[in-house]
Amino acid sequence: MISPSPQSPVCFNAALKYRNLPVVVLTGRPNVGKSTLFNRLLRRKKAITDPTPGVTRDPVSADAFIAGKPVRLIDTGGFKLDREDPPSYDGDPSGDTLDDLVVGRTVETIRRADLIVLILEAGELTGEDEAFIDFLRPFQDRLLAAVNKTEGGRRENESWNILSYGFDGVYMISAEHGDNIGELEAAIAERLDFSQVEIDDAAARPIRIALLGKPNTGKSTLSNRLTASEGSIVSPAPGTTRDVVEGTFMYRNRQFRILDTAGIRRKSKVTENIEYYSVNRAVKSIDEADIVFLLIDAQEGLTDQDKKIAALAHDRGRGVILTLNKWDAMPTVKNTFQAVRDRIRFFFGQMEFAPIVPISAADGSGVEELLKLALRVYSQLIIHIDTGPLNQALEKWLEEYPPPVGPQTRFKVRYAVQVSDNPVKFVIFVSRPQAVTEPYIAYLRNRIRRDLGFSLIPVDIEIRGSSGPGKRARPRERN
């Protein structure tokens, strides 16, 4: 059994962020209420809940406070067997069905959990439940059982038979109605070790890099070079990487976490369920990253698909470095890079801030420059401008380029505040939001980039109404 948590040196506060959190995994067969319980423990709706079995495919994770302590909570896809033998997923997706991949991700998540909460449905166990319990026996010391849908004592008497399967105890709950959730939370917290939890310091945590791009642009080759491993399978066949492969490495005393993803194809080309699922995970990796290395085949040049990938990263406020791979195969003609760079800037004006660097993942040329840029980009992502200096700068910008004057176009800028970093977002309060034009917002964004140190990253600006200095709206913090 996991020993009770020793006293942690950290005084937990829900307003802070933490790292090294214990991992709590919710698992069970489809449609037993895992996602409903996930949302209940999270105290907000993040996982999609639906009566259709199998809606949750990829594990969904979030930081949550349980019994006053922070944990990393993961909602897994349903453990669908449809076979006589318990599964033995080996991590090789070749030949697997979509259900195989869902089960594989569930098993992978279970193996790295600090605590596994097995969710069963009130009443008699199914054959699938029994097979899953048998599969989980090696993890018995990290296992806690909860029977869901017992609101008002519904089918509790039958459910106590679960103890005959070797559980020390069982918690009767209703995720939908909240019955006995407090008892379950206390049991979860008691079984975890919080001694390694630390307050998250953005300046010291690993920098998370997602390698994205079309198939066969060299993502796995670059991943292997950076991590000095063969963690990613390298093959000339497009689409070799079907899952997100993670690795770590150090550069200039800073840890990096790399995510090598499946190549993203146009929707019309994504015909296999498994490939669609893999591409969906690659897109989700943007949410987990700080910076995206968008690998572009230097010989092929920028494509519409590259633009779509960059737009996804831009919209999420991630740093983007346009990485021209296979540069060693380009002709050695003077000003070649300048010509390629100018062409990208001309056809891709939205990403004028994004650095462009030529590399060869195969021979390593340009990789150090890529990492230097990554450090610079990350340093800008975590900048936070205090409200006082920000509004002093805003006053100067308004003097140099005042808002337009006219009965329909007039508006007054009240003040500004930075509501989040990584992603970087500012809220500007004005008297008439509907009168603020896109060109004026672009002007303010450009001045923020130029004067406040955000030259290499996307900057989001939201315009909100404010009736005057005496009635300032409280800005909503961005998560």
What's residue 202's pLDDT? 76
CA–CA distance, 170 with 121 (Å, rounded to integer): 12
- The vertex-134 CA angle with 132 and 135, nearest 5°, equals 65
CA–CA distance, 136 with 118 (Å, rounded to integer): 9
Residue 203, φ and ψ in degrees, nearest 5: -75, -10
What's residue 273's pLDDT? 44
pLDDT category at 240 given cuts 50, 70, 90 is: very low
What's residue 146's pLDDT? 93
Q: Encode pLDDT of 350-361 as tens digits.
A: 899 999 999 999
The Cβ of residue 115 has, within 10 Å, a number of other Cβ atoms equal to 22
Question: Looking at the predicted structure, is the pLDDT value of residue 455 above 60?
Answer: yes
Bridge partners (DSSP) listed for residue 319: 291
Helix (H) or strand (E) holding 344: helix 336-347
Mean pLDDT of 291-312: 88
Mean pLDDT of 266-291: 59
Please report, to the nearest 10 degrees, the dihedral formed by the alpha carbons of residues 234, 236, 242, 243 taken in order: 20
Q: Encode pLDDT of 75-104 as tens digits.
A: 886 566 554 344 444 444 344 444 455 566
Q: Encode pLDDT of 420-436 as tens digits.
A: 999 999 999 999 999 99
CA–CA distance, 162 with 170 (Å, rounded to integer): 8
Mean pLDDT of 361-380: 96
pLDDT category at 248 given cuts 50, 70, 90 is: confident
Note the pTM of the prediction, 2 decimals.
Answer: 0.62
CA–CA distance, 456 with 439 (Å, rounded to integer): 20
Helix (H) or strand (E) holding 98: helix 98-111
Mean pLDDT of 377-381: 97
Burial status of residue 304 (CB atoms within 10 A of its CB: 0-12, 13-18, 19 or more): exposed
What's residue 108's pLDDT? 74
HSE, side-chain direction, 13 A CA sphere, residue 179: 16
pLDDT category at 463 given cuts 50, 70, 90 is: very high
Question: Looking at the predicted structure, is the pLDDT value of residue 18 above 90?
Answer: no
Mean pLDDT of 296-324: 90
Burial status of residue 4 (CB atoms within 10 A of its CB: 0-12, 13-18, 19 or more): exposed
CA–CA distance, 169 with 1 (Å, rounded to integer): 12
Residues 6+ apart with CB under 8 A from 338: none
Write down the residue that tokens 């569930």 correspond to: 106
Question: Looking at the predicted structure, is the pLDDT value of residue 105 above 60?
Answer: yes
| Higher-confidence position of 273 and 362 | 362
Question: Looking at the predicted structure, is the pLDDT value of residue 189 above 80?
Answer: yes
Mean pLDDT of 53-58: 43
| Higher-confidence position of 434 and 259 | 434
Domains of the chain by start residue, with CATH: 18-190 (3.40.50.300), 207-381 (3.40.50.300), 387-471 (3.30.300.20)
pLDDT category at 66 given cuts 50, 70, 90 is: very high
Question: Looking at the predicted structure, is the pLDDT value of residue 337 above 80?
Answer: yes
Q: Encode pLDDT of 394-407 as tens digits.
A: 999 999 999 988 77
Q: Encode pLDDT of 138-150 as tens digits.
A: 999 999 999 999 9
- The vertex-276 CA angle with 249 and 131, nearest 5°, equals 85
Sign of CA dihedral 316, 317, 318, 321: positive
What's residue 306's pLDDT? 84
Sheet strand arrangement including 170-172: 60-66, 69-75, 23-27, 115-121, 143-148, 170-172
Nearest to 221 by CA among 210, 209, 234: 234
Lowest mean pLDDT among 93-102, 151-160, 256-265, 340-349: 93-102
Assign residue 313 a region (left: φ > 0; alpha: ψ between -120 and 50; beta: otherwise): alpha
What's residue 165's pLDDT? 87
Bridge partners (DSSP) listed for residue 147: 120, 172
User: In the chain, what are the helix, strand and coil shares in percent, each to the nearest 5?
Assistant: 35, 20, 45
What's residue 275's pLDDT? 41
CA–CA distance, 72 with 66 (Å, rounded to integer): 10
How confident is the prediction for the chain on average, in pLDDT? 80
pLDDT category at 260 given cuts 50, 70, 90 is: low
What's residue 224's pLDDT? 85
What's residue 29's pLDDT? 84
- Find the largest Cα–Cα distance for the chain: 81
What's residue 259's pLDDT? 77
Mean pLDDT of 364-377: 96
Averaging pLDDT over each range in 53-67, 244-258, 418-432, which range is the top one? 418-432
pLDDT category at 263 given cuts 50, 70, 90 is: very low
Q: Encode pLDDT of 112-145 as tens digits.
A: 899 999 999 888 888 888 988 998 899 999 999 9
